[in-house]
Structure 1
């Protein structure tokens, strides 16, 4: 088995304080979902940085909390995941969650997309939310 690589970068001063727990959770997700990690890179940024990416690559002129670029080959996950810490902070307040828990949910959400889950239809959204809750419980 190839060594998996999960890395975390920031284009601002943000630093993820739970890297070890997130890494363990991502490894649990991919194992349970029968996927292998090749390389997953998380990039933490602000709203404007992610808005620019959203416009340039997805032709969406809206703020978002996460954009996942999937370069996977077969069963091996290769991805860049961009997360707006501004959106995560705002959504945490809106949903009365801690910033940390909302950050974990968003990161898990991105990884679930890489495992083949979608969230366009109501039924897909419910499956995604159930999976997020399941994997969040592993971090508690």
Structure 2
């Protein structure tokens, strides 16, 4: 089950469409869907988590806490709406496209993809692009 939660004024207007797409992403990776929580917040909220749990004193767009057991994907994915807005401007894409990329990025971490090395980061970007195409495929 995919849940969307809000720690700020932001609200998705297409939760069902996004959750159906993210479920397709999970299936396309040969995984099963457990409990996945997306929590939308601001920079301050996510920065506190980054410092407290990861010992990183930086702003970030997404932090994924992975509770996956075996093949069943589960986790809490925190997303800073402010970072997504800024990144969309920097990358010259729409807010919606950048948000989808961040949503699927968190999910791909649960599927086992990493992004710490340059090689892993490229593989993650390629996988994000592949999964973004799934969004436009009718069920």
Flag whether TM exceeds 0.5 (same fold): yes
Query: Cα distance, 1:117 vs. partner?
Result: 0.4
Aligned equivalent of 1:121: 117
| Aligned counterpart in structure 2 of residue 103 of structure 1, from 99, 109, 112 | 99
Aligned equivalent of 1:12: 8
Q: Which runs of no fewer than 5 residues in structure 1 stay unpaired?
A: none
| Aligned counterpart in structure 2 of residue 76 of structure 1, from 72, 75, 86 | 72
RMSD after superposition: 0.9
Query: Cα distance, 1:9 vs. partner?
Result: 0.7
Secondary structure, aligned partner of 1:69: strand
CA distance in 2, matches of 1:20, 1:136: 16
Residue-pair matches, total: 136
Following superposition, which runs of at least 4 residues in structure 1 exceed 4 angstroms of deviation? none
CA distance in 2, matches of 1:107, 1:34: 18
Note the 1:5-84 alignment, pairs <5 A: 5-84=1-80
Are 1:134 and 2:96 matched, yes or no? no
Query: Cα distance, 1:21 vs. partner?
Result: 2.1
**Normalising to structure 2: TM-score of the pair?**
0.94
